[in-house]
Structure 1
Amino acid sequence: MKVVNKVIVVTGAGGGIGRELVLQLLEKGARVAAVINKTGLQETQILAKDYGERISTHLANLVNKDDVEKLPEEIIAKHGSVDGMINNAGIIQPFINVNDLDFEKIKLVMDVNFYGTLYMCKAFLPHLLQRPEAHITNISSMGGFLPVPRQSIYCASKAAVKMFTEGLHSELIDSNVGVTLVLPGGVNTNIVENSGAVREREEGQSHYYKLLSPKEAAEIIIRGMENKEYRVLAGKDAKIMDLLYRFNPKKAAALIAKKLGKV
């Protein structure tokens, strides 16, 4: 689905990939409803000021189903319709083992990453089904198919997004609504700080791969949406680990544990 002249809803639009998605969609001629929880509202509004009424901003806590269910009416009142959505919002957990992770944090990660995506799809799907052409893009993670030590709950939440999205694609395969699953690898965003997670790194320690920039990630995501791709692997690391995991899951898990699991 080409995004020009379409109305696209983007969650997690306050920064990182979400803000880049908003700006690039606007540049491509789309109208954008930017959904933001708490931070980044003013910054996003300033960056998008040149686009006038083609962008609207909406405050909503995706964990709150009532908040989400109000969005379609609010956005349609502003833009007249909704043609697509990119469920980008997500958080990680503190970098600790499951045994040391409290249930409050576990629930929050599952609520934001999985239930937030589910609530958005449930709220907007009836409206998308009425459009001549529509599209849903859900952002999972490389962690949705590959276990990362001290991020087990995050990985579980993203695996849930992965399977939900693939199931939704199968359910909607004969409809006007396309569905794309995105599995990014490492992206250079502020998700650690925004999630309240702390990770100490030894001096001089660096990633063994080059992180994608938010701009690069957003370009890949939008291209996948416009090309109606089933599955998008964003980043060299995601592509390599996906291939390795298919052939030898145990080896892939051991490698990621060695490279990313040590703090």
Structure 2
Amino acid sequence: MRSLRGKVAVVTGGGSGIGRAIAHDLAGRGTTVAVADLDLESAKRVVAEVTSAGGRASAHQVDVASEAGFRTLREEVLAAHPAVDILVNNAGIGPGPKNFVDTPLSDVRRILDINLWGAIHGTSIFLPDLLARPEASLVNIGSYTGLMAPSAVVGYSTSKFAVRGFTEALRMELAGSPVTVTLVMPGVTKTALMTNSPVIDAEHRESLQRAFDKAPGVLPEVVAAGVVKGILKRKPRVLTGKDTVALDIITRLAPGRYSALLAKPMSAALKKTFGQ
């Protein structure tokens, strides 16, 4: 896009973390942002921050795992705004690091419902609106675990590999259309990923969050800047964080060997960070 001024963007998971940073960055460039989050009060707080800084935004509640909920969101957004030019499927939850043999399948389903089906629902429901615009942008937020599948987060990595495949297939399908499709793959990002995850027992969330906070990573604003750059420059892929860049190189150079090469270092990193 030549400019973001005057555009309308829907950002899911916009009430905190990366989504909040994306909403602020877009609004600061003249975009009207529909901030959508399961926690409506969080969405309202972000809207208040945006409007107090001179931007324009609206707050909406949505459970991205629900197709009906997403359809209601679309109705609300189009009632409040004339069109949708940008969709950022950002909503996601983190895993409690745990070996797969010890992971309840209900946790895996919950992760897939939000991280994968959230992107599928959002795309399916808003894509006709994006295709009707002269130019539009669809952004799916993946993860470095969609490049390299580490142990102890099997469900999470599965969801992010699936988001990657979904996005790349859409990009090929929509080539030549008004819609640019961008996959953003952040590395470790300083958010409340563990505190906010519904698949982590309440008594373990704070301790896991403290451990996660000790890991080197980037601020959400760095990821948001990557998202905005990807939209403006019509980039197919955006990597943020030195960890993601390094893993991208390793998996490209040794696609069949990286699991063996990285098993011990990743195990050591997980043990150091989470005590796994």
TM-score bracket, normalised by the shorter chain, equals over 0.9
Alignment partner of 1:3 is 2:8:
no
Partners of 2:124 and 2:214 in 1: CA distance:
40
Give the structure 1 partner of residue 231 of structure 2: 225
Give the structure 1 partner of residue 244 of structure 2: 238
Give the structure 1 partner of residue 270 of structure 2: 260
Per the TM alignment, residue 41 of structure 1 is displaced from its structure 2 partner at its CA by: 2.7
Q: How does 1:63-78 map to 2 (within 5 A)?
A: 63-78=65-80
Is the Cα–Cα contact under 8 Å of residues 70 and 121 in structure 2 kept in the other structure? Answer: yes
Query: SS at 2:75's partner residue?
Result: helix
Q: Cα–Cα, structure 1 residues 127 and 51, in superposed 2: closer, same or farther, change >3 Å?
A: farther
Query: SS at 2:194's partner residue?
Result: helix
Partners of 1:246 and 1:129 in 2: CA distance:
33
* Amino acid in the other structure paired with 1:260: L
Q: Cα–Cα, structure 1 residues 169 and 254, in superposed 2: closer, same or farther, change >3 Å?
A: farther
Partners of 2:84 and 2:67 in 1: CA distance:
19
Normalised by the length of structure 2, the TM-score is 0.88
Match of 1:82 among 79, 84, 99: 84
Alignment partner of 1:247 is 2:253:
yes
Per the TM alignment, residue 93 of structure 1 is displaced from its structure 2 partner at its CA by: 1.9
Alignment partner of 1:33 is 2:39:
no
Is the Cα–Cα contact under 8 Å of residues 149 and 261 in structure 1 kept in the other structure? Answer: no
Q: Cα–Cα, structure 1 residues 42 and 68, in superposed 2: closer, same or farther, change >3 Å?
A: same
Match of 1:91 among 90, 93, 104: 93
Per the TM alignment, residue 119 of structure 1 is displaced from its structure 2 partner at its CA by: 0.2
Is the Cα–Cα contact under 8 Å of residues 186 and 244 in structure 2 kept in the other structure? Answer: yes
* Amino acid in the other structure paired with 2:27: L
Unaligned runs of at least 5 residues, structure 2? none
Partners of 2:85 and 2:218 in 1: CA distance:
28
Match of 1:103 among 102, 105, 122: 105
When structure 1 is superposed on structure 2, of 175-184 and 36-45 the one drifting more is: 36-45
Per the TM alignment, residue 44 of structure 1 is displaced from its structure 2 partner at its CA by: 1.4
Give the structure 1 partner of residue 117 of structure 2: 115
Normalised by the length of structure 1, the TM-score is 0.92
Query: SS at 1:40's partner residue?
Result: helix
Q: Cα–Cα, structure 1 residues 3 and 252, in superposed 2: closer, same or farther, change >3 Å?
A: farther
% same residue: 33
Give the structure 2 partner of residue 153 of structure 1: 155
* Amino acid in the other structure paired with 1:179: V
Partners of 2:28 and 2:190 in 1: CA distance:
22
Is the Cα–Cα contact under 8 Å of residues 11 and 87 in structure 1 kept in the other structure? Answer: yes
Partners of 2:193 and 2:79 in 1: CA distance:
31
Give the structure 2 partner of residue 172 of structure 1: 174
**RMSD of aligned C-alpha atoms?**
2.0
Match of 1:138 among 137, 140, 144: 140
Partners of 1:8 and 1:71 in 2: CA distance:
13
Per the TM alignment, residue 96 of structure 1 is displaced from its structure 2 partner at its CA by: 1.1
- How big is each residue's C-alpha offset from its partner over 1:127-152, in whole Å with a ceiling of 9 and x where there is no partner? 11110000100000000121122111
* Amino acid in the other structure paired with 1:243: I
